[in-house]
Amino acid sequence: MFQAAAIQITPIMNDVDANLKRGLNFARQAIREEAELIVFPELWNTGYYLSKEAFNILAETIEGKTITTFREEALRENVMIICPFVEREGEALYISAAVIGNEGEIMGVVRKGLLWGREHNIFTEARLEYPTFDSSVGKIGVLICYEMEFPETSRLLALEGVEIIICPSVWSMSASHRWDIQLPARALDNTVFVLGVNTVGNNSCGKSKLISPLGDILAVASDKQEEILIRAVDREVIYWAREEVSYLEDFKDKLIPGGKKIPTPTVSYQKKPR
């Protein structure tokens, strides 16, 4: 069992330094409340509604100030941090999330491969790759915002044994009903935990939430204000969820869309012997 913290923040548009200072304060508060996993929302340190020119100025590499700051914090406090940022590689800009281990190491960088709306005019669409990470809090995967709206992405992660799917987002007010439907559905479909971490204000609907492997809402944040949502995650619950609904055990690889066949790996939690 571990404590997960969702940092629901209202970004100050176009001000990385101010957002970084505030984000670090939020992270330290979560650490004081014994969080072992801290997750920030998509584009939290820049804001979402900016021009391509603005994002070009604010973009960083993995060696930039934002990721370096949280690597140092992760090492100092023995905590895992998932930190989205605008990543620059050559002329390309990506919506990315750095997965920082509890020893300050970069476990990987996840780039958004399914862009939404205006994002196509600003960012580069990454390759459709969904890596998994064996971490101090279990096996995790990351889907950035719109990627969660496709059932196939979370199923691919579940077939690789992921226990918790993290979804950093800037989810709009007009799509609030989809946030409330799709995240619990993905958790239940795959009998995994889902942690959705949203911005709030600036047309975002907030409501960051932790969802159980049976689709139950375990904790949810406000739809109006900043908040640190902290809740215990008991990975043993996956045992009982998969006793009740054996979707992954009964899944046939011929159901994978497009006819692609991949071997179905052994899921992380099999039924306990009676």
pLDDT tens digits for range 152-166: 999 999 999 999 999
* 74 pLDDT above the threshold of 60: yes
Residue 259, pLDDT score:
54
In whole angstroms, give the CA distance from residue 193 to residue 238.
8
Cβ–Cβ < 8 Å for 206, 224: yes
> Average pLDDT for residues 185-208, to the nearest whole number?
98
Where along the chain do its domains lie? Answer: 2-259
Residue 253, pLDDT score:
74
CB atoms under 10 Å from CB of 118, counted, come to 11
DSSP annotation of 159: H
75-100 per-residue burial string, b: 16 or more CB within 10 A, e: under 16: eebebbbbbbbbbbeeeebbbbbbbb
Residue 252, pLDDT score:
80
> What is the chain's Cα-based Rg?
18
* Residue 237: C-alpha distances to residues 1, 13, 160 (Å): 10, 39, 18
In whole angstroms, give the CA distance from residue 81 to residue 242.
28
> Average pLDDT for residues 194-221, to the nearest whole number?
98
3-state secondary structure of 153: helix
Label residue 136 exposed, middle or buried (CB < 10 Å: 0-12, 13-18, 19+): middle
* 270 pLDDT above the threshold of 90: no
> Average pLDDT for residues 200-207, to the nearest whole number?
98
Give 2-259's CATH code, choosing from 2.60.40.420, 3.60.110.10, 3.40.605.10, 3.30.160.100: 3.60.110.10
Share of the chain above pLDDT 70, in %: 93
List beta partners, residue 5: 38, 230
Q: What angle do CA 167, 74, 57 make, to 5 degrees?
A: 65
The mean pLDDT value of the chain amounts to 93
* Residue 55: C-alpha distances to residues 17, 24, 86, 182, 244 (Å): 14, 21, 7, 29, 46
Cβ–Cβ < 8 Å for 95, 122: no
Query: How confident is residue 130, by pLDDT bands cut at 50, 70 and 90?
Result: very high
pLDDT tens digits for range 25-42: 999 999 999 999 999 999
For residues 34, 239, 193, 131, the Cα torsion angle rounded to the nearest 10 degrees is 100
* Residue 71: C-alpha distances to residues 75, 92, 240, 242 (Å): 6, 24, 35, 35
pLDDT tens digits for range 79-123: 999 999 999 999 999 999 999 999 999 999 999 999 999 999 999
Cβ–Cβ < 8 Å for 140, 151: no
pLDDT tens digits for range 230-267: 999 999 999 999 999 999 999 887 787 665 544 444 44
Residue 84, pLDDT score:
98
**What pTM was estimated for this model as a whole?**
0.94
For residue 180, give the amino acid letter. Answer: D
What DSSP element (H or E) covers 58?
Answer: helix 52-58
